[in-house]
Structure 1
Amino acid sequence: MTVKRLCGIPGFSIDRVASAAGNDPEILRLENLDTDIAPPHGVIEASKNAITNDDANSYLPFTGNLALCSAVANHLHKQTRIVYDPLKEVVITCGGTEGMFDTLLAITDPEDEVILTDPTYAGMINRVRLAGAIPKFVPFQLVDGQWRLDLDILQARVTDRTRALFIMNPSMPSGALLNMQEWQQIAKICIERDIWLIYNAAMERIIYDNRPYIHPASLPGMAEHTITVGSVSKEYRMIGWRVGWVTGPAAIIKDISLVHIYNVVTPTGLSQTAACCALQAPNSDLLAAVNEWERRRDEIVEQLAGLPIISAAGGWSMLLNVKELGYSSLEASDLLLKHGKVAATPMCDWGEKNSDQFIRLVFSNEPVKRLSDIVNGKLKYRVLSQ
C-alpha cells in the first residue's frame, strides 16, 4: 500500500529513456544532464589527495568544513555583494538536491503552498510534495520566441498559505531566464507578503547571448528573504562529487542545518576539498565551458530550423513542442529513440500547462560534430517530419 506522501509522485522518465538507449554509440544522448567537459584544473588531483586525508574520512564537521564554507561565502559575496558568515549562514549539503529538500522541510508545514514555474525541474516539484506542501504553478509563455513568466498569474497564485516561491534560473528544462522586471515582481511579492524565495542557483551563470546576470538576493530588501541553493554539479562539471550548499539569513540556516544533520548527518567528506578548489577557479574556466555549450545549443537550433524548438537563454537544455507535430511527449520520445537514434526525455510530469506537449533536448554532453548530424541522423526527417 502506497503511503500518502508518494501518491501522485511519478518516477523519473530520464532513467527509462537512458536504459532503453543502452550503450549504443550511435545514439545521440540528449536525455540526461551530463556533460563531457572536464572539471576545473586541480579538481581531479584534489580528489585523489583527499582519499589519503584522514580529516576527509570523518563525520565532522556536520555542516561542512570551514574552508569550503568560507569559499562558498566568498563566492556568494562576489555574486551579491552580501557578506555571509561561513559559520552561521552557510551549510554544505550532499548536492544541491539535498539542500532543496532540507530547505523545504525547514520552512513549510503540511498543506502549505509553494509556487513554482511551469515547467520546471520535476525534482523540485516532487520534493515539494514529499515535504507535504502543495505545488502551485505559474506558467512560462512564449513571447517573441522567448520564455516569459506570466506575472499576472504569479500575483494571483499567492495566498495566505504561500510559504515560498521556488525558482530555478536559468530554468530547467526550458532554458528560460528571468529578466529584471520578472525578478522585481518576485521581490515585491516576497517582501510585501513576507515569504521566502528559494533560489535554485545550480546553473545561474550558464547564460547565453550576453544576457545579464542577476542574483535575486542582491535586489533591495531581498537578502533577508532569499535562501540560495547552489552546487558544483553544473557550472563546475562535478556531478559525481555530490557537493552543494545552502546560504541565507542565520536564523533559517540554523533550522536548515538541523534538518540536514538528521537527514544525511554530514556532507561528502572526500569531495569537499575538490569543491573548494573548484570555487577558486578563474572566471575563464566557466566562460570557456559556457561558450562551448552555447555552440552546441546553436547547432541544434540551426539543425532543427523549421521545427517548433524554443532556444534556451541559459542552462543545458531546451524544449521541442512535439504536440504541434502531432505527438505526445512519450510518443515522440519513443519514436525518436527507435527510428532516429536520439534519446530525449518526455516532459509529461514536469509542469501543468507546459508539460506533455514537450520533449527536452540536453545539449551539454554531445560535441558539435555529432550534433551537426542530427538531421542526417533522422531526428527531423524520419520521425518528426512524417
Structure 2
Amino acid sequence: MTATPLATRLRAFSGPTIFTEMTLLAQRTGAANLGQGFPDGDGPPAMLAAARAAIDGGMNQYPPANGLAVLRAAIAERRRADHGVAYDPEREVVVTAGATEAIAAALIGLCDPGDEVIVFDPLYDSYAACLAMAGATAVPVPLEFDGTRFTFDPDRLRAAVGPRTRLVLLNSPHNPTGTVFDRAELAHVAGVCRDHDLVAVTDEVYEYLTYDGVTHVPLAGLPGMRERTLTISSAGKTFSATGWKVGWACGPAPLVEAVRTVKQFLTFGTGTPLQAGVAHALTHCADWVGELRDSLQRRRDLLVKGLTAAGARTYPAQGTYFVQLDSRSFGFADGVEFCRALPHDAGVVAIPSVALYADKEAGRHLVRFAFCKSEELLTTAVDRLGRYAATRRTAG
C-alpha cells in the first residue's frame, strides 16, 4: 500500500481542520473559545419540545428521502412569506444533513470533472473540499475591503467566466467577512449568470442574522434567477441548533433533483424527529429568531467595543456570527501565529481567516472572532485581550 491511501484530489484536505485544531486548543488551555461558530445556548424551547414529542410519538425511523412533508411545506412557506419566492414543496424542496451536505450534493450533482466554479474569496473551507470531490476547479473572485465593507469588483467577476464555467457559488451573508451582498452586487452576479447561462448555488445559512437594519436579499428573487438558482439554508444558525444538521435546498425541480440524486446515496435521510422540530420552529418561532438577531447584534457590539478599546482594528460585520480583526494591531503580521499564541498568552481562541482564503497573502493578517457566545464569555474574552494588549505595549 502507498504511504497514504487517500485519493490524490483530497490529500490537500487531510488532517483536522483549523476549527478542530483551535477548539482542541481551547479545551486544553481553558481559553475563552471565540473560534468555532457554535452558540452557547439552545434553540427555541418550543422547537426542542416538538422534537421530543416526535421521539415520544414514534418518529424514529427513516424519513422520506426528500424530507418530511411537513418540513418541506414549512420551508416553502417561509421562502414565500419572507422573500416572495414560491416553491412547490413536492418537487422543488429537498431536506439535507445540514447545508454542508446540500452544498456537497449540489456540486457533485451539477459539475462534471474539469468544470469551473466561480467562488468569492475567502470561502468557507468545505467548499474547496466539495469541489475536489466533484472534480471541479474553483475560480476565485476576491472580496476586498473598500474602506466600508468587503465587496468585489464586477469586472473581475465577469473576467472569471471561461468556457468551462458551470456555476457561481455565492455565500451571503458571508462568512468570514460579515458582508451581506446588496441588491446592486447581486444584480452583477445575476447578470453574469444570465449572460453566460450559468447556474447559481447560494449558501444563505445566516439569512436571518443581519444587523443594523441590513436586509438579506436572496439571489433567486432577482429577475431571471429563480429558474437558475439553487438556494441553500438550514436550521443550525437560524435556530441555534448547529448539532441538529437539518438543512435544505430550494430551486427549480431539475436542480433539486440533482441534489436529491446525490444525497440519497450519502445520508439518504437525516434526523426524523429533528425535522419535525424544525418544521414547528419555521412555522411558530419567528419572534424567537427576531430576539436572537437583536441579542447577537448587542453581543457583536460588546465584542467590537472591547477589541477597539484594546487597540485592535476590526472590520464591520453586517451579518453572520463573526467579526474580523487585523492581527497587526497586536504586533503579529501572521494571523496563524497570533491565533496559536493567543490561547497560551491571553486565554482566548480565535480562527485565522487565512484558512478560508485561496489567496493566502490577502488573508494573512486577518483573524475571525465568533460573537455567538454568552455575554459573560465575551466580557471575559475582551478583558483578557485588553490586558494582553497592554502587556505587549509595555513589553514593546
User: Do they fold alike, i.e. is TM over 0.5?
Assistant: yes
**What is the aligned partner in structure 2 of residue 160 from structure 1?**
163
Q: Which whole-Å CA distance do the structure 1 matches of 2:393 and 2:25 have between them?
A: 20
> 1:344 touches 1:361 (CA, 8 Å); kept in 2?
yes
Q: Which whole-Å CA distance do the structure 2 matches of 1:362 and 1:379 have between them?
A: 19
1:139-218 pair list within 5 angstroms: 139-218=142-221
Going from structure 1 to structure 2, the CA distance change for 1:20 and 1:86 (only over 3 Å counts) comes to same
Q: Does 1:365 align with 2:373?
A: yes
> 1:17 touches 1:31 (CA, 8 Å); kept in 2?
yes
Q: Which whole-Å CA distance do the structure 1 matches of 2:176 and 2:392 have between them?
A: 22
Q: Which whole-Å CA distance do the structure 2 matches of 1:142 and 1:384 have between them?
A: 27
For structure 1, the residue ranges without an aligned partner over 5 or more in a row are none
Percent identity between the aligned chains? 26
TM-score, length-normalised on structure 2?
A: 0.92
> 1:342 touches 1:379 (CA, 8 Å); kept in 2?
no
Return structure 1 stretches of 4+ with deviation > 6 angstroms.
Answer: none
Q: Which whole-Å CA distance do the structure 2 matches of 1:332 and 1:383 have between them?
A: 12
**What is the aligned partner in structure 2 of residue 302 from structure 1?**
305
Q: Which whole-Å CA distance do the structure 2 matches of 1:63 and 1:283 have between them?
A: 24
> 1:297 touches 1:363 (CA, 8 Å); kept in 2?
yes
Q: Which whole-Å CA distance do the structure 1 matches of 2:63 and 2:36 have between them?
A: 33
**What is the aligned partner in structure 2 of residue 22 from structure 1?**
27
Question: Equivalent of 1:319, from 318, 321, 324?
Answer: 324
Name the amino acid aligned to 1:313: Q
Q: Deviations over 1:319-352 (max 9, x none)?
A: 1122563331221001111111001112232112
**Per-residue deviation, 1:369:** 6.6
Q: Which whole-Å CA distance do the structure 2 matches of 1:124 and 1:281 have between them?
A: 32
Going from structure 1 to structure 2, the CA distance change for 1:98 and 1:232 (only over 3 Å counts) comes to same
Going from structure 1 to structure 2, the CA distance change for 1:379 and 1:109 (only over 3 Å counts) comes to farther
**What is the aligned partner in structure 2 of residue 126 from structure 1?**
129
TM-score, length-normalised on structure 1?
A: 0.94
**Per-residue deviation, 1:376:** 4.3
Query: CA RMSD, aligned part only?
Result: 1.9
**What is the aligned partner in structure 1 of residue 56 from structure 2?**
52
Name the amino acid aligned to 1:50: A
Q: Deviations over 1:120-158 (max 9, x none)?
A: 211122212222111111111111231112222111111
SS at match of 2:238: coil
**What is the aligned partner in structure 2 of residue 285 from structure 1?**
288
Q: Deviations over 1:234-269 (max 9, x none)?
A: 011111111111110011212211111111111221
**What is the aligned partner in structure 2 of residue 221 from structure 1?**
224
Q: Does 1:333 align with 2:339?
A: yes
1:6-85 pair list within 5 angstroms: 6-9=10-13, 11-22=16-27, 27-54=31-58, 56-85=59-88
Aligned length: 384
Q: Which whole-Å CA distance do the structure 1 matches of 2:8 and 2:373 have between them?
A: 37
> 1:322 touches 1:357 (CA, 8 Å); kept in 2?
yes
Q: Which whole-Å CA distance do the structure 1 matches of 2:392 and 2:294 have between them?
A: 30
> 2:10 touches 2:129 (CA, 8 Å); kept in 1?
no
Higher helix share: 2
> 1:80 touches 1:217 (CA, 8 Å); kept in 2?
no
**Per-residue deviation, 1:9:** 2.3
Q: Which whole-Å CA distance do the structure 2 matches of 1:65 and 1:12 have between them?
A: 32
Name the amino acid aligned to 2:316: S
> 1:347 touches 1:359 (CA, 8 Å); kept in 2?
yes
> 1:119 touches 1:352 (CA, 8 Å); kept in 2?
yes
Q: Which whole-Å CA distance do the structure 1 matches of 2:32 and 2:63 have between them?
A: 42
Q: Which whole-Å CA distance do the structure 1 matches of 2:219 and 2:13 have between them?
A: 30
Q: Does 1:349 align with 2:355?
A: yes
